[in-house]
A and B are shown apart, each in its own frame.
Chain A
Amino acid sequence: MCRYELKKVFLKTGGKIALLLLLFLVGVTCYFATNIFYVDGKGDKKYGPVAVRELRAMQKEWAGFLEEEKIRQVITENRRIRHSKEALSDETRENEIAYSWGQGISEIRNLLNYSYASHFREYDYYRADSLSETDAGDFYANRVSLLKAWLDEEAKDTFSDKEKAYLMDQYHRIQTPFYYNYMKGWTQLFAFSPTIIMISMLILGYLVAGIFSNEFVWKSDSVFFSSVYGRNKAVTSKIKAGFCITTMVYWGSVILYSGFILLYLGADGMNCPVQADISGWKCFYNITIWQKYLLVIAGGYMGCLFISFLSMLVSAKTKSTVLAVMVPFVLIFIPSFLANMNSVFVNKILSLLPDQLLQMEAALNYFSLFTIAGRVIGAVPILLVVYAALTVAIGPVIYWGYSRKQIS
């Protein structure tokens, strides 16, 4: 039965086109995600496999624990490059050459800009240039003191004392020194993961939207509901089909995407803490890059399941495919309109909306805390639990509503 439900979706011209479109968009995203460059010793920009190979080799030279000694070396190396005659020259080409020397330390240099900032929310690209070797010892201490200063002043009313203590504790608890490695594969993968996941969501939203309503559109409802299983097993098989489509389409595109990026850019650095990269420096979840990847793809899956189940519920209740197709759009795009309201309360709500699951990368960096039964907890675990529960709850609601439908 479920096999035929899948056929109903994929034999349609629209269904086939949607899959081809998805494949095309995954391809385009892979292209942009892997389109990194490297500047060679002559100041020329290089793209493609050469760039990956060279950049990887240069950054790998600096792989290892970011101890005081290593930070000091980075500060020295950075100053040497910055004060070279090539860097100070008025000629762009000369500047490019100077830039090329710095590619090995560029990621660590970025961390310095954050760590030695005068302010928690500040990022000054030139901050690293004004450091001296004696500063090296403060690298990790700064991370904590900037947070503390921020919590005491700017964010003083945003968090409760308990929440502040929790954040400080998370910052203290992280194991230092961080292990650093080349991890362009992962950072690029994370940067484009919301794109891939949202594209998959919109496409599979389109695919599942008709599962229930099309019986009415096609007028096949009379035969369907007058059959033995029309008000029980056949409805279950529709829900199963929706689950299968979501699972296949989501994992299909995520595996294709991750596989391509990691094969092309390399999977090095999976055991580094997320804080060893600029994208996760402030993150208060103490996890590794690999764990972050698992959270990103599991969250994406959870989000897609929830949204497609909601879309199926609308499809079953309203008999309208159009309304059902709109569900993912509304859930994905409405929050971005509300995001500008800048109210603590609204932001808290926003951090719990299902679109957050589709962009775990951002959700992990979001300072949104909740106190539940005396325990402080971040938004990410709440999102995973709440939407898993809601998805499980929607199934029976769809079943109940659809199996009692009257034909008009």
Chain B
Amino acid sequence: MELKLSNLTKEFKDVAAVDHISYTMTTGVYGLLGVNGAGKTTLMRMLCTLIKPSSGCITWNGKDIFELDGEYRRLLGYLPQDFGYYPDFTVYDYLMYVASIKGLRPATAKQRTARLLKQVGMDKEKKKKMKKLSGGMKRRVGIAQAMLNNPSILILDEPTAGLDPNERIRFRNLIGELAQERLVLLSTHIVSDVAYIAKEILLMKEGKICVAGSLKELLAPMQGQVWSLDVSKEDAETYRKNYKVANVRIIPKGVNLRILSGQRPSENARPESVLLEDVFLHYLGEGMVEEDVSI
């Protein structure tokens, strides 16, 4: 099992959404992290044969996926970022329909639908119309849909977007369960979604993978570069101008800053252990939203 991207490029008019990416994936969870517009969705669409690359190629066990065509799609499960459905279908009908276009036999389709509905906790809502579901419920149906054909390659585009923290933890566990024996590529801009379950994490920026590796490999080079510092409110501004600040927290005496820096920013600064958020900030240059850090 090997999915290989070679010099993969997709250009839209003036932007290169995906820019000469080469990477190889086998089984396990791959976390694709990137800010808005980094090219995650474009990359995933190419992996799902939905759009053709401008140049470069994608091979599955050595064969071009666009030539494998249906044979490749038989192995594929995809949850799009913009998950669309048939509004008047019931959850059950929806899954049975997707099963039919995924080439499942009716008996198998029934079995798998029943099992997945239980697994994603939608068994009680199976008679509900799709348009009446909440956002979280839709996502769960979305993941069930992707799993129907027991795919060897599972591609999930921001599966946790719009979920509350509880749901997100449930989701993470579910994905962990599903990840055995298959290749899971999961995109997100929420670091905590992938920090603990991903075998490898890919940081994507402006169509390129700027760094990739296991959590340990990503954290190691930044060891000793993360500091915690309590300062007054006035000084905080100066530090924020001069350093990359990962987090700002109000404390009784002023503010506590989490600073990324090769050198100790001040005598009072205490070294901190590195988190994936820090790596994200270091490479992609943007701070994390407070709620995301809290999980």
Contacts and interface: CB of A to CB of B under 8 A. Distances in A.
Interface of A: 1, 4, 7-8, 11-13, 218-234, 406-408
A229 B97 contact: no
Contact of B101 (A8, A12, A219, A228): A228
B93 A4 contact: yes
A384 to B, nearest CB: 36
Interface in B67-86: 69-70, 73-74, 76, 78, 80, 82-86
B89 A11 contact: yes
Contacts of A231: 69-70, 73
Contact of A219 (B73, B83, B88, B102): B83
Contacts of A222: 45, 48, 50, 78, 80, 82-84
Most buried by A among B52, B101, B149: B101
Contacts of B96: 4
Interface residues of B, number: 31
B100 interface: yes
Given A219-B82, A220-B85, A226 B93 contact: no
A225 B70 CA distance: 10
B27 interface: no
A2 B101 CA distance: 10
Nearest to B70: A228
B255 interface: no
A233 B51 CA distance: 20
A223 B84 CA distance: 8
Contacts of A11: 86, 88-89
Contacts of B276: none
Contacts of A4: 89, 93, 96-97, 100
B51 A408 contact: yes
Contact of A227 (B84, B86, B93, B98): B98
A223 B98 contact: yes
Interface in B83-139: 83-89, 93, 96-98, 100-103
Interface string B22-56: 00000000000000000000000100111110000
B86 A229 contact: no
B145 interface: yes
A304 to B, nearest CB: 25
Nearest to B71: A228
Contacts of B49: 225-226
B49 to A, nearest CB: 7
Given A222-B78, A223-B80, A229 B50 contact: no
A169 to B, nearest CB: 57
A12 B88 CA distance: 6
Nearest to B69: A231
A13 B131 CA distance: 13
Closest 8 pairs between A and B when the two form their complex, measured CB to CB: A219-B84, A11-B88, A222-B80, A220-B84, A407-B50, A4-B97, A226-B48, A227-B101
A4 B74 CA distance: 20
Main secondary structure of the interface of A (DSSP, over half): helix
A406 B51 CA distance: 5
B9 to A, nearest CB: 16
A395 to B, nearest CB: 19
Contact of A223 (B74, B89, B145): B145
A223 B146 CA distance: 8
B50 A227 contact: no
Nearest to B52: A406
B69 to A, nearest CB: 7
Contacts of B101: 1, 224, 227-230, 233-234
B73 to A, nearest CB: 5
B202 to A, nearest CB: 21
Contacts of A218: 84-87
B100 A1 contact: yes
A225 B50 CA distance: 7
Contacts of A225: 48-50
Given A225-B50, A227-B101, A220 B86 contact: yes
A316 to B, nearest CB: 17
Contacts of A232: 70
A305 to B, nearest CB: 25
Nearest to A224: B101
Given A1-B100, A219-B83, A234-B101, 4 more contacts: A1-B97, A222-B50, A228-B70, A228-B74
A219 B50 CA distance: 13
Contact of A226 (B52, B73, B88, B100): B73
Given A4-B97, A4-B100, A406-B52, A227 B89 contact: no
Contacts of B51: 406-408
Contacts of A219: 80, 82-84
Contact of A7 (B73, B83, B93): B93
Contacts of B93: 4, 7
23 contacts: A4-B93, A8-B86, A11-B86, A12-B87, A218-B85, A218-B86, A218-B87, A220-B86, A222-B78, A222-B83, A223-B98, A226-B48, A226-B73, A227-B102, A228-B70, A228-B102, A228-B103, A229-B101, A229-B102, A230-B73, A406-B52, A407-B45, A408-B51
Contacts of A13: 88
Nearest to B45: A407
Contacts of A406: 50-52
Nearest to B102: A227
Contacts of B69: 231
